A and B are shown apart, each in its own frame.
Chain A
Amino acid sequence: MGYHAMAINQNTLTIDGKDVYFEQGQTIMDAALAAKIYIPHLCHYPGLPPSGNCRLCVVETNGKSVAACITQAQAGLRIHSNTPELNAVRKTITQMLFVEGNHICPACEKSGNCKLQAMGYYLGMHEEHFHHFNPRRALDASHPAIFLDRSRCILCDLCVRASREVDGKNVFAIAGRGADAHLIVNTDSGKLGDSNLDRDDLAANICPVGAIMHKQRGYVSPIGQRIYDQQPINEIALGEHVPESTERDHD
């Protein structure tokens, strides 16, 4: 075996039987996305540090279930991702996300552009299966350009990471434990209007669902021309990355 072949072998794993090359330090998710293999995810966004909370990217390797976004790629790993069993688990997780919030898509401006909804379509979810929580969560419309509808928040933590890592503002945080966990705004009043969030901040634009929304900008795309009307989530996700130019170094 030549030197080159050995080097490749040391950096190769398989996903659903396909050889995937990775660079040292990459996660399974990084390696999969680089190889244009889709592993379902909602709380991961390339260019932001992973947080591992949505659990949709669960894959199986060595007889264990691991979250692909926070598990280091290792040579020789044989990973199973696109299996009926794992997709059934992912559908259950998606149903849980729907029932614990108030996801009334017919009345939501994010419909057609929403990752949670697109995940439901991708996984063939016809109904929510579990009893609805019907939570009553505070809406914050105090900011001139942005409103926060917590009833649709899936606690993916993306706005928190975007604001901290990219915008350098730390506007958002998740507080509370267990079922009481909720998104808070880091101001004395707790109001978004008292924060320095700007409409162009990544944190104001990265929410995968209809929780952080721009005011007076609903229902702009005709039906049929919305993001997931045209392409399913497994295709759109392969092209996503935080714009490099906005990535800042906070060391």
Chain B
Amino acid sequence: MTDQKIRIATASLAGCFGCHMSFLDIDEKLVQLNERIEFNRSPLTDIKHCGPSDIGLIEGGVCNADNVRVLREFRANCKVLIAVGACAINGGVPAMRNYFDLRECLEEVYLHGTGVTNPQIPDDAELPLLLDKVYPVQEVVRIDYFLPGCPPPADAFLQMLMPLLDGKAPHIANNQLHYD
């Protein structure tokens, strides 16, 4: 392998940014990691679109049209795409809205909810339309690896990334595997 740094892109779709926070929980190991990687598009950088990258980390499920666009952009540009956290893997807590019709949810929040003034459902073309349901990312694009947890433990990020940096298959230890 050359000295060229491994390019990592990250995104939060219908996520809470908790998976990104858990990634940052590797603390000072981030400094070591940073010697081997560089970030492409990520909430941690200013890059607006995902360019060719070695690894993409996706947090959050797919809840609106913009999520679909971003997810497809990542799939097209990342050699390895990883679903990070319960939301990306199975929709997570936001998928509890799948128990209801989308219209019921919008009407409850924007029309009939407590304290609503000037009731109207936002319909500006700038706003991405919500999908009928919240979808796991692998129901939209192919995913290479899954990192479970809500959020995954900080160490699990290292167990996933370090072997990948060396071109090996990652292995999540049993004690790092949880869905909650």
- Give the B-binding residues of A (Cβ under 8 A): 98, 102-108, 111-112, 117, 120-121, 124, 126-128, 131-132, 134, 136, 151, 232
Chain A nearest CB, measured from B14 CB (Å)? 13
Instruction: Determine whether the beta carbon of B180 is less than 8 Å from that of A131.
Output: no
Q: Does B95 contact A (CB under 8 A)?
A: yes
How long is the Cα–Cα vector from A128 to B91 in the complex, in angstroms? 11
How long is the Cα–Cα vector from A111 to B92 in the complex, in angstroms? 14
Instruction: Determine whether the beta carbon of A121 is less than 8 Å from that of B150.
Output: no
Q: Which of B90, B139, B145, B147 contacts A98 (CB 8 A)?
A: B90
Stretch binding the partner chain, chosen from B32-40, B161-169, B171-179: B171-179
Q: Which residues does chain A contribute within 8 Å of B95, judged by CB atoms?
A: 102, 104, 132, 134
Q: Which of A104, A112, A124 contacts B174 (CB 8 A)?
A: A124
Instruction: Determine whether the beta carbon of A124 is less than 8 Å from that of B177.
Output: yes
Q: How many residues on B have C-beta within 8 angstroms of the other chain's C-beta atoms?
A: 27
- Give the A-binding residues of B (Cβ under 8 A): 83, 86, 89-93, 95-96, 98-99, 133, 136, 138-139, 143, 145-148, 150, 172, 174, 177-180
Chain A nearest CB, measured from B117 CB (Å)? 30
How long is the Cα–Cα vector from A105 to B92 in the complex, in angstroms? 8
> Which of the listed residues B133, B145, B180 has the most CB atoms from chain A within 10 Å of its own CB?
B180
Q: Which residue of A lies closest to B151 (CB)?
A: A106
Q: Would you give 18 A-B contacts (Cβ < 8 Å), ordered by A?
A: A102-B95, A104-B92, A104-B95, A104-B96, A105-B86, A105-B150, A105-B179, A111-B179, A111-B180, A112-B180, A121-B177, A121-B178, A126-B145, A127-B138, A127-B146, A131-B139, A132-B90, A232-B174
> Which of the listed residues B98, B145, B148, B179 has the most CB atoms from chain A within 10 Å of its own CB?
B179
Beyond known contacts A126-B148, A127-B146, A134-B98: 8 more, CB 8 A cutoff: A98-B90, A104-B95, A106-B92, A107-B96, A111-B179, A121-B174, A126-B145, A127-B83
How long is the Cα–Cα vector from A104 to B94 in the complex, in angstroms? 9
- Consensus secondary structure, chain B interface: mixed
How long is the Cα–Cα vector from A1 to B136 in the complex, in angstroms? 63
The 4 closest A-B pairs by CB, nearest first: A106-B150, A105-B179, A126-B146, A127-B146
How long is the Cα–Cα vector from A127 to B178 in the complex, in angstroms? 11
Chain B nearest CB, measured from A211 CB (Å)? 15
How long is the Cα–Cα vector from A131 to B138 in the complex, in angstroms? 9
* A104-B136 CB under 8 A given contacts A120-B179, A127-B83: no
Chain A nearest CB, measured from B47 CB (Å)? 28
Q: Which residue of A lies closest to B145 (CB)?
A: A126
Q: Which residues does chain A contribute within 8 Å of B90, judged by CB atoms?
A: 98, 103-104, 127-128, 132
Chain B nearest CB, measured from A136 CB (Å)? 6
How long is the Cα–Cα vector from A105 to B95 in the complex, in angstroms? 12
How long is the Cα–Cα vector from A127 to B179 in the complex, in angstroms? 9
Q: Which of A107, A117, A124, A232 contacts B93 (CB 8 A)?
A: A107
Q: Which residues does chain B contribute within 8 Å of A108, judged by CB atoms?
A: 180
Q: Which residues does chain A contribute within 8 Å of B136, judged by CB atoms?
A: 127-128, 132
Chain A nearest CB, measured from B154 CB (Å)? 15
